[in-house]
Amino acid sequence: MDFLRISDVGVDGLRTILDATARVKANPDAVKGLLAGASIGVFFEKPSTRTRVSCEVAAVHLGAHPVMLRGEEVGLGKREASKDVARVLDRYVDALAFRVFRHQHLEELAEYAHGPVINLLSDIAHPCQAVADLATIAEHMALPGCRITYIGDGNNVCNSLLLGGAMTGMHVTICTPPGYEPDPVEVSAARAFTVDTGGSIVVTTDPREALVDANVVYTDVWTSMGQEGESAQRLRDFDGYQVDLAALNTASDQALFLHCLPAHRGEEVTDEVMEHPRSMVFDQAENRMHAFSAVLLYATGQLPQW
Ligand code: CP
Ligand code: NVA
């Protein structure tokens, strides 16, 4: 099955993937070689460190052959229509894992490819990141009832965290400057999950109100890949939304700090917070690899019975 948004797998599917992530991390040998003989087309239209390396390493560990593709060589939607790229790659590989500018390209790939299509980040979602984020929090506290505050840009990472948090019964507060709120469609989709999961969603522009009592404080860059031309304006607009020590101290006593990375130190987060004993950012980065193994096994229907 496809994994374009974290909600694609439903509440039970996400629970299964999070459980698998923890199991893969605790006992990597349990999944070694499970995808022997398979090939995966892994495509990047934007830069990447964590996603590229963790996906390639995870695929090899599972026994699959990752065919690494760069945006400029494929020319998705330029050199060739995405529906044609999908049908060609489909003849060679068993799954596609793509990082793209336009989410619509993923939807076209998913429509035309028979095998699973996994989103490695698009303009509106970063679901594999959210699995790693939730798995990292779950190493420290129960997800249902946990209070998480995301402070910064209402972007791809924010959207997937919002949905994933709602799906796991978390109390999610999103705090952005005016004009940078997450898309109301994403907020409504998340709210719909909270009816059954007992979670809640608050969207605010007030950082202090957002941070009080938070168990987890999360931020991401103010200028995402492809938005570099807006950087100067964004630096002005996000003034007052930095996660510094005072912000972390406004949250609950043992609050964890998370960031999907790469971090722009001195902009959305200070050095002091990145290096803080309660900063879990490198565990979170490691968990991208275990999360990708879990997602790939789930999407290809190869998760073990444990
Ligand atoms: N967090 C994340 O997706 O990092 P990369 O852009 O380096 O892959
Ligand atoms: N929001 C960031 C996330 C990077 C992993 C971006 O899209 O550039």
Domain residue ranges of the chain, discontinuous segments joined by +: 6-126+286-299, 141-279
Ligand 1 proximity of 121 Cβ (cutoff 6 Å): yes
Whether the bond into 182 is cis, omega within 30 of 0: no
Q: In the prediction, which pLDDT does 54 show?
A: 98
The whole-angstrom separation of Cα 32 and Cα 64 is 10
- Which of these, 204, 161, 211, lies nearest to 14 by C-alpha position? 161
Band of pLDDT at residue 27, cut at 50, 70 and 90: very high
Ligand 1 proximity of 261 Cβ (cutoff 6 Å): yes
Mutating to test ligand 2, I would choose from 126, 227, 288 the residue with most ligand atoms within 8 A of its C-beta, which is 126
CA of 123 to the centre of ligand 1 (A): 13
On the question of a common fold for 6-126+286-299 and 141-279, the answer reads yes
Specify the amino acid at residue 149. T
The helices-and-strands tally (H runs, E runs) of the chain is 13, 9
| Residue-wise pLDDT tens digits, 233-261 | 999 999 999 999 999 999 999 999 999 99
CA of 272 to the centre of ligand 2 (A): 22
| Residue-wise pLDDT tens digits, 97-156 | 999 999 999 999 999 999 999 999 999 999 999 999 999 999 999 999 999 999 999 999
CB of 152 closer than 8 Å to CB of 220 = yes
The class level of CATH for 141-279 reads alpha beta
176 token code pair: 């952005």
Which ligand 1 atom sits closest to the C-alpha of 128?
3
CA of 288 to the centre of ligand 1 (A): 9
Mean pLDDT across 275-296: 98
Mean pLDDT across 161-190: 98
Mutating to test ligand 2, I would choose from 162, 259, 260 the residue with most ligand atoms within 8 A of its C-beta, which is 260
CB of 203 closer than 8 Å to CB of 187 = yes
Write out the catalytic residue numbers: 99, 126, 129, 220, 260, 288
Q: Which ligand is nearest to the CA of 48?
A: 1
Ligand 1 proximity of 48 Cβ (cutoff 6 Å): yes
For 6-126+286-299, CATH gives 3.40.50.1370
Band of pLDDT at residue 185, cut at 50, 70 and 90: very high
pTM for this entry: 0.98
Q: In the prediction, which pLDDT does 99 show?
A: 98
Question: What single-letter DSSP state applies at residue 183?
Answer: P
Mutating to test ligand 1, I would choose from 42, 43, 48 the residue with most ligand atoms within 8 A of its C-beta, which is 48
Q: Tell me the CA distances in angstroms from 72 to 46, 76, 77, 188, one per residue in order.
A: 10, 8, 11, 36
